[in-house]
């Protein structure tokens, strides 16, 4: 697969999962995988000895998100090719996951605003009351 990615520019997969012993070989194509967000990483659970569990998590729709220094949460809820209903379902699941992650010690308003955007497009603000809390 590494040769196929290198020579044929093959990217017909959403997630790459690897064992730690494969990382030196994958490091050779890191410049190709990294910018596409496909490079396996122990922090995200894609470098593991439990490949079966990682594959099951990925197929079940494991949700990944990150925060920036301003307190914004970034995550992917789908692709342009997804049906509108699927995007809406993913957005609802994403917001519920964020709200469930609120620490019990956090006081005040946990989510101040919600906006979505496609890659490299302006964002659209969403009414927070449209979600079931």
In DSSP terms, which residues pair with 124 in a beta bridge?
116
Query: Residue 133's pLDDT is what?
Result: 56
Average pLDDT along the chain: 86
Query: Residue 60's pLDDT is what?
Result: 77
Q: Are 117 and 124 in contact (CB under 8 A)?
A: yes
pTM for this entry: 0.62
50-105: pLDDT as tens digits: 889 888 888 877 777 888 888 888 888 888 888 999 899 889 888 888 888 888 89
1-16: pLDDT as tens digits: 888 888 888 888 888 8
Indicate whether 78 and 40 sit together in one domain. no
Indicate whether 32 and 85 sit together in one domain. no
Query: For residues 97 and 83, what is the distance between their CA atoms, to the nearest angstrom?
Result: 21
How many domains is the chain partitioned into structurally? 2
Indicate whether 79 and 104 sit together in one domain. yes
Query: For residues 20 and 27, what is the distance between their CA atoms, to the nearest angstrom?
Result: 11
Task: Say if residue 132's pLDDT is above 70.
Answer: no
Q: What b/e readout covers 66-102, taking b as 16+ CB neighbours within 10 angstroms? A: eeeeeeeeebebbeeeeeeeeeeebbeebbeebeeee
| Boundaries of domain holding 13 | 2-59
Indicate whether 47 and 99 sit together in one domain. no
Indicate whether 78 and 126 sit together in one domain. yes
> Of the ranges 29-33, 38-42, 60-64, 91-95, which one carries the lowest mean pLDDT score?
60-64
């Amino acid at each position: 697969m590494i040769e196929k990615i290198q020579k044929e520019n093959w990217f017909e997969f959403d997630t790459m999962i690897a064992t730690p012993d494969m990382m030196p070989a994958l490091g050779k194509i890191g410049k190709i995988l990294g910018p596409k967000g496909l490079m396996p990483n122990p922090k995200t659970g894609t470098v593991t000895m439990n490949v079966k569990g990682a594959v099951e998590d990925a197929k079940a729709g494991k949700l990944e998100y990150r925060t920036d220094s301003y307190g914004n949460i970034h995550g992917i809820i789908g692709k342009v090719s997804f049906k509108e209903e699927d995007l809406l379902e993913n957005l609802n699941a994403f917001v519920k996951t964020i709200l469930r992650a609120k620490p019990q010690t956090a006081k005040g308003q946990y989510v101040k605003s919600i906006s979505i955007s496609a890659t490299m497009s302006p964002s659209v603000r969403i009414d927070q009351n449209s979600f079931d809390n």
